[in-house]
Chains A and B, each alone.
Chain A
Amino acid sequence: MLRIDRRLLENVDWLLLVTAFGLVVISTVTLASLHVGRAGGSVVVRQLVWFALGLVVMVFLASLDTRRLVRAAPAFYLLGLVGLASVFLLGRTVSGARRWVVWGPLSLQPSELFKICFLLMMVWALTSRWAQPVGKLSLAMMLPIVAVPVVLIIKQPDLGTALLLVPVMVILLIGAGVRLKLLGGLALVALSALPLAWFALKEYQRERILVFLDPFRDPLGSAYNVIQAKIAIGSGQLLGKGVTGATQSRLAFLPERHTDFIFAVFAEMWGFVGCLVLLLCYVLLLLRGFDIAATAREPVGRLVALGATSLLAAQVLINVGMVTGLLPVVGIPLPLMSYGGSSMVASFMTLGLLLSVRMRQFQ
Chain B
Amino acid sequence: MSVTRGSLPRRDAGHRRVMVIATSVVFAFLVLVGQLWYLQVLEGGRFLDASDKNRIRVRPIAAPRGILFDRHGMPLVDNRPAFTLSFIPRELPREDETRDAVLGRVASLLHIPYQDLTDAVARVPSDSLLPVRVRRGLTLAEVAKIEEWKLELPGVITEVEPQRVYPTSRFAAHLLGYVREANDEQLKQGRYRRGEMVGQSGLERLLDEYLRGQDGGERIEVDAMGRPVRRVQATEPHAGAQVITTVDRGIQEAAERAMEGLAGAVVVMDPRNGDVLAMVSTPAFEIDRFTGTIDRDAWLRVVQDPNFPLLNRTIQTQYAPGSVFKIIVAAAGLQERSLTPLDRTYCNGEFRLGTATFKDWKEGGHGTVDLHHAIAQSCNIFFYEAGLKVGGATIVKYASTFGFGQPTAIDLPGEKSGLLPRPQVTRGRQGRTAGYPPGETVNMSIGQGTVLVTPMQVARFMAAVANGGVLWRPRLVQRVERPERLVWSDQGQVAGHAELSPVVWAFLRQSLWAVVNDNGTGAAARIPGLDIAGKTGTAQTIAKSKAEKGQDHAWFAAFAPAKAPEVVIVVLVERGGKGGQVAAPIARKILNAIFFEKIAAVEIAG
Interface residues of A (CB under 8 A from B): 37-38, 67, 126-127, 132-134, 171, 174-177, 220-221, 224, 228, 230-238, 247-248, 250-253, 267, 271-272, 275-276, 279, 282-283, 286-287, 290, 293-300, 302, 306, 310, 313, 317, 320-321, 324-326
Chain B interface size band reads 35 or more
- Which chain B residues lie closer than 8 Å to A326 at the CB level? 31-32, 35
Decide: A233 and B32 in contact? CB cutoff 8 A.
Answer: no
Question: In whole angstroms, what is the CA distance A272 to B90 when docked?
Answer: 28
B409 at the interface (CB under 8 A from A): no
10 closest pairs, A vs B, by CB? A234-B47, A237-B44, A290-B22, A235-B51, A133-B2, A272-B40, A235-B48, A294-B18, A234-B39, A235-B47
| Contact pick for B40, options A236, A250, A300, CB 8 Å | A236
Chain B's closest residue to A245 (CB) is B51
Question: In whole angstroms, what is the CA distance A230 to B47 when docked?
Answer: 8
B21 at the interface (CB under 8 A from A): yes
Decide: A317 and B29 in contact? CB cutoff 8 A.
Answer: yes
- Which chain A residues lie closer than 8 Å to B13 at the CB level? 177
Chain B's closest residue to A132 (CB) is B2
Question: In whole angstroms, what is the CA distance A310 to B20 when docked?
Answer: 12
- Which chain B residues lie closer than 8 Å to A267 at the CB level? 36, 40
Decide: A233 and B40 in contact? CB cutoff 8 A.
Answer: yes
Question: In whole angstroms, what is the CA distance A46 to B425 when docked?
Answer: 64
B45 at the interface (CB under 8 A from A): yes
Interface centre among A37, A177, A300 (most CB of B within 10 A): A177
| A302 touching B36 in the complex, CB below 8 Å, given contacts A176-B3, A287-B26, A317-B28 | no
Besides A175-B18, A233-B40, A286-B25, 6 new A-B residue pairs in contact (Cβ under 8 A), listed by A number:
A234-B43, A234-B44, A251-B90, A276-B33, A324-B32, A326-B32
Chain B's closest residue to A176 (CB) is B3
Question: In whole angstroms, what is the CA distance A171 to B25 when docked?
Answer: 11
| Contact pick for A275, options B26, B36, B233, CB 8 Å | B36
Q: Binding site of A, secondary structure by majority: helix, strand, loop or mixed?
A: helix
Query: 1/0 per position for B12-28, CB-CB distance to A under 8 A?
Result: 01110111111001101
A132 CB to nearest chain B CB (Å): 5
Decide: B2 and A38 in contact? CB cutoff 8 A.
Answer: no
Question: In whole angstroms, what is the CA distance A53 to B443 when docked?
Answer: 77
| Contact pick for B5, options A221, A252, A298, CB 8 Å | A298
| A317 touching B21 in the complex, CB below 8 Å, given contacts A127-B5, A220-B233 | no
- Which chain B residues lie closer than 8 Å to A294 at the CB level? 15, 18-19, 22
| A233 touching B129 in the complex, CB below 8 Å, given contacts A176-B3, A317-B32, A324-B36 | no
Decide: B8 and A297 in contact? CB cutoff 8 A.
Answer: yes
B37 at the interface (CB under 8 A from A): yes
A265 CB to nearest chain B CB (Å): 13
Question: In whole angstroms, what is the CA distance A7 to B427 when docked?
Answer: 95
- Which chain A residues lie closer than 8 Å to B36 at the CB level? 233, 267, 272, 275-276, 279, 324
- Which chain B residues lie closer than 8 Å to A37 at the CB level? 125
Chain B's closest residue to A179 (CB) is B1
Decide: A287 and B22 in contact? CB cutoff 8 A.
Answer: yes
B342 at the interface (CB under 8 A from A): no
- Which chain B residues lie closer than 8 Å to A287 at the CB level? 22, 26
- Which chain A residues lie closer than 8 Å to B483 at the CB level? none
Interface centre among B1, B14, B20, B26 (most CB of A within 10 A): B14
Interface centre among B2, B3, B6, B28 (most CB of A within 10 A): B3
Decide: B4 and A302 in contact? CB cutoff 8 A.
Answer: no
- Which chain B residues lie closer than 8 Å to A126 at the CB level? 3
Question: In whole angstroms, what is the CA distance A299 to B125 when docked?
Answer: 58
Question: In whole angstroms, what is the CA distance A38 to B125 when docked?
Answer: 8
B41 at the interface (CB under 8 A from A): yes
Decide: A302 and B32 in contact? CB cutoff 8 A.
Answer: no
Decide: B21 and A302 in contact? CB cutoff 8 A.
Answer: no
- Which chain B residues lie closer than 8 Å to A67 at the CB level? 5
Decide: B54 and A248 in contact? CB cutoff 8 A.
Answer: yes
Question: In whole angstroms, what is the CA distance A255 to B398 when docked?
Answer: 69
Question: In whole angstroms, what is the CA distance A279 to B90 when docked?
Answer: 34
Question: In whole angstroms, what is the CA distance A175 to B54 when docked?
Answer: 48
| Contact pick for B44, options A171, A238, A297, A324, CB 8 Å | A238
Decide: A177 and B2 in contact? CB cutoff 8 A.
Answer: yes
| Contact pick for B51, options A247, A271, A300, CB 8 Å | A247
- Which chain B residues lie closer than 8 Å to A228 at the CB level? 54
Question: In whole angstroms, what is the CA distance A298 to B15 when docked?
Answer: 11
Decide: B3 and A171 in contact? CB cutoff 8 A.
Answer: no
